[in-house]
Structure 1
Amino acid sequence: MVLGDTAKKYNNDTSRPHPKLLFPSHPYTSISKDHPETMKGTHDHCITNGGTVNKTGHNSSLTTGMTKELLNCSTQIKIIADINKTTTTQNITTSALFHDTLYTKPRYLLSRGRNTAMVGVVAAVLGRLLAEVVEKEMKGCNLVVVYDEGYNHRDLLDPLLLLENVKQVVEIKHIMSEVAWVSEGCQGYLVMLTQPDPLLSFTSSSPLLWDYRGRYFFVLPSRSDLEEVVGTQKGRKTENIAGAVYREGRWQVYTNHMYGKTGVRIVGTWMGEHFASITPHLYPDKLSDFHGTSLQAVTFEWAPSVFYYRSRNGSVLFRYGTDIGVLETLAQVLNFTVEYQEPPQGERWGRKEENGSWSGMMGRLARNEVDIGLVDLYVTLIRVGILDYTAPYDSELSCFMARTEPPLPRWQSLAYPFQPSTWLAMLLGLIITGPVLCLLARGSAVCGGEEVVRLQSLSYSCYYSLGLHCCEAQETIPRSKSTRIFVIFLWLYTITLTIAYSTNLTAFLLVSKVATSMETIRDLHGSGLEVSGVGDFYGGALGSASDPYLQSLEERFRSYGDAHEIFPGVLSGRAVMIQNSPFLEFVAATKFTSRGQARMRLMKECFAPFSIAMSVQRHSPLKRKFDQVINWVVAAGLVRHSFLTSLRLFAQNTKELADEVDGGQESEDVQVEGVTSLSLEHLQGIFFIISLGWLVSVFIFCLELVV
């Protein structure tokens, strides 16, 4: 099964040369198949947390806890051997791949009981084939060799050990069933088995126990066995799979299909020293052209990311939007078609259920039911365990949408030009100027000067001052110098006030003044309003925020299955909605705007930015190619172009539907651009004043009759 077993046979066979290390300071190391948690061998001096391994020649035992530390040393466990040179007996490194998983009673192919010469010829031919594969397709790769007793033959293994670039690296992250396969750079796997059942069992184990980017070459009994391996869940997600089958005295070489076709196709026949024709490329780029293959994508209507262009009867004619534009660009570049599906009603993106499964879009991707998921999908750590994200192509803020407070009554417009403090100062000035004018007039008369008798009356002086404040010309002209100077400055004072007031009054008569509303997260915290969102995502996001005001909003968060269930609460003023800013802006502008007045608005302070990407199945081979094309799309500015094109198409579709409803008639309300006529609504304040004046006059008249 493992290279170490063969090495022991090599070491016991004194009639043949033993491999000599190219780096004598890095001797071979063995891992027992019965006790993979123990590693023995001769090593360079390497300090670990568990102890010191010396190069004095004696065997040192490393416990499981020390294994990871050893792998972090500068003397990582590697094999680079040269068969042509001799050396003393050494133990050859054993691959920990599969451990006991593949140990079973094999159907012997290269074993005792058959013609020795015949077996040697077949083994040598296969060895040269594997050496050719490694030299041409795995050059510079870290190589892992796995085989059972049926392929335990030195004529098979010698060509592999003769390769200078062959390295066998034991990469152990955890010595347990949940070991994570992690490889940096190129990783090659040669798997030679006389029966595939243990391999098929292994491919059905945890998805983490596989290197989906590695290059695999399987030697199996038949083509059907190879197709069965390729058809497993791990096989379907591995782009680089090839294999050889011994048939009619020759080794036939196959490579796997990806998307659209299943199984394997023959690419060449090994003639013993070379291929029958041109050397085949076993691991070509299978994802540059999908040849019109249909991929399954799950999405739903969520403007402006995804729009549905509907007919009169409501059926969907086609989809468009920012996300759809990116996917359609991918489809054109990579030559595939898209078949759209929708998640179950009300599930949208989906949530994690109590039993650990996921619903909605996430659930369909986690169960490998669809290939792609898209619609304003945030890149978060919450979902990385069940799917893979493509490269992001957009970013958005998460904001709060609240009700637009109704404008203040129009009749209050007369008071808007000045602030309350200004009105108070004017009132004090009005109260003071009347008595001061009266005192100056009386003083001038007492001192022998001539002054108008009317101005010496307090009531007339107050009336005179009020007339000037109202920009009303007065016939009475003071005679004394002191009184004239006072009246001149009073004129300047009142003219400035009246001009400032009349100028601002025009603006406030035409534009409604909006009531003061909450704009910050702190204001939202103090308001006590419910925070509503689609799904549970934002509840957890608010709870994990560092801002204490945001954290407090988690207690008031309530999830809904659809955005339309949230709108009534926002319009009534008892809730705010949290969602991505493009969606909220689109909703506020298109669904809740009348005569230019929006009934919903976005608060100035937003939550947090998120990157937007598509999602594919976990370990999907689509990610590599999608990332490459998406980076091109972003660099070319096509995401913004798709967004603007979608908005224009939506406006056109909306206008067409409106024309169908109106019968093509133009609206009766025609507004002349640049001219606005003042209506009773604009001037209702002045009518309130005249009405109040009439009531006060009648009341005073009644008092005069009584008195």
Structure 2
Amino acid sequence: MEPKRLLWLLVFVYSARWLVPAEVQRQSRKEVIKPGLNSQMPPFTKDMFSSIGNSTFIGDGMFSKTMNSVKTPQLKPREVVSLVGLLSTVVREELSGCNLVLAYDASDLYSAVVQDLLLLLPNPRQVVLVRSENDLAGIVWVSSACSGYLLLMNQLQPLITFTKTHHHTWDYHGRYVVVCWTLEDLKVISASRKGKKTEHIVGVVKGSGEGEWRVYTNQLYWGEEVRSVTTWRHHRFTSHLDLDLFPDKLADLQGATLKVSTFELAPSIMYYRARNGSLLFRYGEDIALTKTLARVLNFTTLFAEPVDGRRWGNKVNGSWDGMMGELGRGEVDMGMANFFISIKNVEIIDFTAPYKAEMTCFMARTEPLLPRWQSLAFPFHPWTWLAILVGLILAGPILFLLTAGTSTGCGGNPLSRASSLSSDWFYTFGMHFHETQPTLPTKNSTRVFVLFLWLYTMILTIAYSTNLTAFLLVQKPPASIQTIREVHDSGLEVAALGYIFNYTLASSADPYLNGLTKVYRAYPSEDVLFSRALEGRTIVLQNRGYLEFHATTHLNHQGRPRLRILKECFAPYSIAMVLQKHSPLKTKIDLVIGWLQQSGLIDHYFRNSLRLAATTEAYRDESKAGEDTDQERGEGAVVALNLDHTQGVFMIAAVGWLVALHAFLIETFILESGFTRSGYRRRPAPGIKPYKQVGVFIEEAGSSVSEQAACFNPLSGILGPFLPAQPARVGVGRDVQTGEQDGR
């Protein structure tokens, strides 16, 4: 027979009871139900229901004779029929297709109800005999489909004890129908720790009239006690037909007050204070998110800081303090403070869906910029400068050797002038400094050398001059720590707020990250943490958004950040709100957070918070940009070079003047006295004109001055000290400019 026809047949047979007089019903059931006459009650065992294929029995039997000696209230036959009709109607209309759990205690109050329900209900079900809370713990509380629970309990102590223990053994999303003898019993169950987190609890309590049952539902966040929903009289509800016994109690919390634990933690939570220090209001990314949730779900927020001041909290001697402890004890409904999703915390709290994902980064002090005068050396790498210096040193001697080796007699100098090592060095120095040389080479070998020297120096000077402008305008930062390995090798202290990052470092497979646990330290406040970071004694470890905010608010008088984020980050983290374990709010909050993420409002909240923080007195002193050092600005952001930019140029001039002064003093007071003692004169005698082409005044022995002017051998500058000394004599020379002869 089809299940539907069987169900109608059972309903018909069951309804036929109303056509039979009550006395006849009692006589027909005398052998089955004898309230108060335990000797007539046969044991209710699994064998009696071997033909019921959808039932699973847990326990030794329906009723034990040892338990029947307890005096219990009595149900009249009409009340039994009425209760069976109520429960079967609820299952048919509200729990259709759900897996059922039918739990009953060892009293005989609801024995007839259980018998009739097992015959009428088509749902798959577990049948559980409850003698203690351990029997309730044996129920399969997890189901892939919806779950319904029919609890017929006259002795509520096992159920009450179970609601206070076995916190993870309960279906918080299930639909419960609890049959109690008094309203106070139902209130105790609804106010229990598990009852407060269960959305759907329907209570059935015996009414004043025969066959009358009052139906109640738990308030959840709407109120502390249960409220009356309807009344069942004999075979129907007294209220309208479309009664919903299991409404959605979380879509609209009806202005209920939810307590939110938080504390000041910029930029997630910031406090706007009056001048006297009193708190006016809270703002920030997390605050804006909570206010949006309150508007969508229609609840009122009551913010409070952890009473023990422990912020997130730590596990001490087996118990949690701070925000974690308050959530675990049920003192607050939710918490928020840049909370990272971590597996070690799920034993005591629930995380919402993440609303932000960030990396874990390091922050260190920004080292002072290098002085402006060093900008003159920045266009080239130090190795490039070394190569240029080598080329500058070698170019002069090479040119000198080429000119000396290709000279053939008088007038054979390849540079069309008298040559010396010093003059050739000056010649190549001038080319390196892009200075035009009036003397041209006459020999092919010298021409090739000078031609490539011109090309080499031209490329160097153009490359240097084009890069120099940029380095004059922008100060170069010094070399600093940028990678995780450099952090490890530096030996500096790594610190954060709390110990969560220490656990992350300890679980890392990277040996450099793992080694940082030896220098890790947790600080209780931001003031101590960032003061040590600004002193260069600590490297801060936090999520990137948190570090970016503090990098932009810790500025120097020039508007430059005093703290910087290192290039290498690790361990991406998801940030979420935290709720009580098994909180019924999680499903709705996750849904709203998903909407906010898709709309981009999370980032919008973050940017608005930063803009508001920049206008508040608490952050204005730190976030001001400072005076612009580039005061002379023209249109199009063109910066005029000021003294600060060109200080290196004036330093070179000053150094050059000092060197020239020292050379002058040496020539005047030291060399002059030395030449006088050796018989040489630095200046020509009166009436003798200097020879401008030769540029020297001391003639060698055995040669006239005119011969020296015409046929000077450059190698004599090198070999001169090794030649035999000859007395000097006065000769007759010719002025190469006027052609006049001068006698000496």
TM-score (norm 1): 0.80
Give the aligned partner of residue 203 of structure 1.
163
Map 1:560-571 onto structure 2 (within 5 A): 560-571=523-534
Check conservation: 2:556, 2:562, Cα contact below 8 A: yes
Q: CA 1:495 to 1:586, structure 2 compared with 1: closer, same or farther past 3 Å?
A: same
> How many residue pairs are counted as aligned between the two chains?
620
Look up the equivalent residue of 2:338 and give its one-letter code: D
Partner Cα separation in structure 1 for residue 492 and residue 214 of structure 2? 71
Q: Does 1:411 align with 2:382?
A: no
Map 1:166-315 onto structure 2 (within 5 A): 166-168=124-126, 182-184=141-143, 185-249=145-209, 250-279=212-241, 280-315=243-278
Find 1:158's aligned residue among 107, 110, 116. 116
* Residue aligned with 1:598, SS: coil
Give the aligned partner of residue 21 of structure 1.
51
1:640-691: per-residue Cα shift (whole Å, max 9, x none)? Answer: 22222222322343699679x99xx999995626132333333332333333
Q: CA 1:510 to 1:655, structure 2 compared with 1: closer, same or farther past 3 Å?
A: farther
Look up the equivalent residue of 1:458 and give its one-letter code: L
Partner Cα separation in structure 1 for residue 523 and residue 501 of structure 2? 11
Give the aligned partner of residue 36 of structure 1.
none
Check conservation: 2:557, 2:627, Cα contact below 8 A: no
For structure 1, the 5+ residue unaligned runs are 1-5, 34-91, 111-117
Check conservation: 2:261, 2:332, Cα contact below 8 A: yes
Give the aligned partner of residue 46 of structure 1.
none
Q: Does 1:146 align with 2:103?
A: yes
* Residue aligned with 1:488, SS: helix
Q: CA 1:624 to 1:107, structure 2 compared with 1: closer, same or farther past 3 Å?
A: farther
Check conservation: 2:141, 2:169, Cα contact below 8 A: no
* Residue aligned with 1:348, SS: coil
Map 1:445-460 onto structure 2 (within 5 A): 445-446=407-408, 450-451=412-413, 452=415, 454-460=417-423
TM-superposed CA distance for 1:694, in Å, is 3.2
Partner Cα separation in structure 1 for residue 628 and residue 471 of structure 2? 28
Check conservation: 2:142, 2:171, Cα contact below 8 A: yes
Partner Cα separation in structure 1 for residue 666 and residue 342 of structure 2? 77
Partner Cα separation in structure 2 for residue 192 and residue 31 of structure 1? 15
RMSD (CA atoms): 3.4
TM-superposed CA distance for 1:517, in Å, is 1.5
* Residue aligned with 1:168, SS: strand
Give the aligned partner of residue 698 of structure 1.
661
Partner Cα separation in structure 1 for residue 330 and residue 199 of structure 2? 17
Q: Does 1:359 align with 2:321?
A: yes
Partner Cα separation in structure 1 for residue 500 and residue 522 of structure 2? 9
TM-superposed CA distance for 1:22, in Å, is 5.8
Q: CA 1:578 to 1:682, structure 2 compared with 1: closer, same or farther past 3 Å?
A: same
Check conservation: 2:102, 2:128, Cα contact below 8 A: no
Q: Does 1:466 align with 2:423?
A: no
Give the aligned partner of residue 345 of structure 2.
383
Find 1:689's aligned residue among 634, 652, 662. 652
TM-superposed CA distance for 1:220, in Å, is 1.1
Find 2:594's aligned residue among 621, 631, 635. 631
Look up the equivalent residue of 1:643 and give its one-letter code: F
Look up the equivalent residue of 2:375 and give its one-letter code: S
Look up the equivalent residue of 1:564 and give its one-letter code: D
Find 2:549's aligned residue among 569, 582, 586. 586
Q: CA 1:653 to 1:104, structure 2 compared with 1: closer, same or farther past 3 Å?
A: farther
Check conservation: 2:206, 2:214, Cα contact below 8 A: yes
Look up the equivalent residue of 1:273 and give its one-letter code: H
Check conservation: 1:10, 1:18, Cα contact below 8 A: no
Give the aligned partner of residue 428 of structure 1.
390
Check conservation: 1:417, 1:505, Cα contact below 8 A: yes
Give the aligned partner of residue 32 of structure 2.
none
TM-superposed CA distance for 1:453, in Å, is 5.8
Q: CA 1:105 to 1:245, structure 2 compared with 1: closer, same or farther past 3 Å?
A: farther
Q: CA 1:104 to 1:414, structure 2 compared with 1: closer, same or farther past 3 Å?
A: farther
TM-superposed CA distance for 1:626, in Å, is 1.2
Look up the equivalent residue of 2:342 and give its one-letter code: T
1:43-77: per-residue Cα shift (whole Å, max 9, x none)? Answer: xxxxxxxxxxxxxxxxxxxxxxxxxxxxxxxxxxx
Q: Does 1:611 align with 2:574?
A: yes
Map 1:513-528 onto structure 2 (within 5 A): 513-528=476-491
* Residue aligned with 1:203, SS: helix
Look up the equivalent residue of 1:183 and give its one-letter code: V
* Residue aligned with 1:266, SS: strand
Q: CA 1:695 to 1:473, structure 2 compared with 1: closer, same or farther past 3 Å?
A: same
TM-score (norm 2): 0.77
* Residue aligned with 1:213, SS: coil
Check conservation: 2:266, 2:549, Cα contact below 8 A: yes
Check conservation: 2:68, 2:108, Cα contact below 8 A: no
Check conservation: 1:365, 1:371, Cα contact below 8 A: yes
Q: CA 1:623 to 1:9, structure 2 compared with 1: closer, same or farther past 3 Å?
A: farther
Map 1:306-385 onto structure 2 (within 5 A): 306-344=269-307, 346-353=309-316, 355-385=317-347
Look up the equivalent residue of 1:157 and give its one-letter code: Q
Find 1:476's aligned residue among 436, 439, 463. 439
TM-superposed CA distance for 1:424, in Å, is 2.1
Name the stretch that deviates more: 576-585 or 629-638: 629-638
Q: CA 1:338 to 1:103, structure 2 compared with 1: closer, same or farther past 3 Å?
A: farther
TM-superposed CA distance for 1:371, in Å, is 0.7
Q: CA 1:483 to 1:208, structure 2 compared with 1: closer, same or farther past 3 Å?
A: closer
Check conservation: 1:124, 1:156, Cα contact below 8 A: no
Give the aligned partner of residue 507 of structure 2.
544
Check conservation: 1:191, 1:218, Cα contact below 8 A: yes
1:520-551: per-residue Cα shift (whole Å, max 9, x none)? Answer: 11111111111101011111121111212111
Find 2:640's aligned residue among 671, 674, 677. 677
Q: CA 1:502 to 1:156, structure 2 compared with 1: closer, same or farther past 3 Å?
A: closer
Partner Cα separation in structure 1 for residue 283 and residue 472 of structure 2? 43
Partner Cα separation in structure 1 for residue 629 and residue 618 of structure 2? 17
Q: CA 1:669 to 1:547, structure 2 compared with 1: closer, same or farther past 3 Å?
A: closer
* Residue aligned with 1:446, SS: coil
Check conservation: 1:439, 1:456, Cα contact below 8 A: no
Q: CA 1:237 to 1:13, structure 2 compared with 1: closer, same or farther past 3 Å?
A: closer
Partner Cα separation in structure 2 for residue 129 and residue 360 of structure 1? 47
Partner Cα separation in structure 2 for residue 409 and residue 238 of structure 1? 68
* Residue aligned with 1:257, SS: coil
Q: CA 1:456 to 1:12, structure 2 compared with 1: closer, same or farther past 3 Å?
A: closer
Find 1:438's aligned residue among 392, 397, 400. 400
TM-superposed CA distance for 1:701, in Å, is 3.5
Partner Cα separation in structure 1 for residue 592 and residue 322 of structure 2? 27
Partner Cα separation in structure 1 for residue 322 and residue 185 of structure 2? 36
TM-superposed CA distance for 1:376, in Å, is 0.8
Give the aligned partner of residue 684 of structure 2.
none
Map 1:651-666 onto structure 2 (within 5 A): 651-653=614-616
Partner Cα separation in structure 2 for residue 670 and residue 511 of structure 1? 14
Q: CA 1:447 to 1:553, structure 2 compared with 1: closer, same or farther past 3 Å?
A: same
Check conservation: 1:187, 1:215, Cα contact below 8 A: yes
TM-superposed CA distance for 1:581, in Å, is 0.6
